[in-house]
Homo-oligomer: A and B are copies of this chain.
């Protein structure tokens, strides 16, 4: 079987810029989260549902990654926060360099926590570190409970797995316990929260998770 290997130079360069991002964020006291998922798993809905709760405690900034269109950025900006839009122009993930440019455009001194919404893709975003404090992945239960075994790197890299659209559980064949168990086989320390952006279930637990992360990193 043929395989394309990403050049070592490109990987190394990404790592260097990711490290610069980490230093830059730390210097300004900004805690950061990279949010990843397949297309349509609900990343933007998650932000819209949880940012108002998070804003009660911390000042929030957002970087929106999209192939094209600024629809998601507009939905988030409507909450009254700073959003920086990256249109990747067809590139299927954010890399450290794209995020680096965005960091230079944001007023980091007016932000406590930065949420980075990656491009909808279960593969490449997991391969490109962007220098954040934590990685969160969203899995819609409509995508099937076979995803941990089929996309292991994403589960391996994530600190938190959010299972979204839990309100659809009665209508889809998704074995929640099996998916949790297979996710933990790949990543024993992964946190897991079940949510529904539609009903609001679990949103408070997700806000609490972010607040705990901020408290830990800022203390």
Contacts and interface: CB of A to CB of B under 8 A. Distances in A.
Contacts of A150: 39, 66-69, 71, 120
Interface stretch (A23-31, A54-62, A92-100, A107-115): A92-100
Contact of A40 (B2, B10, B69, B143): B143
A165 interface: yes
A123 B119 CA distance: 10
Interface of A: 1-4, 10, 38-41, 66-69, 71, 86-92, 95, 97-98, 100-101, 119-124, 127, 140, 142-144, 146-147, 149-153, 165, 167-168, 171-173, 198
A123 B165 contact: no
Nearest to A89: B3
Judged by DSSP, the binding face of A is loop
A165 B66 CA distance: 25
A4 B91 contact: yes
A121 B92 contact: yes
Given A98-B2, A123-B67, A147 B40 contact: yes
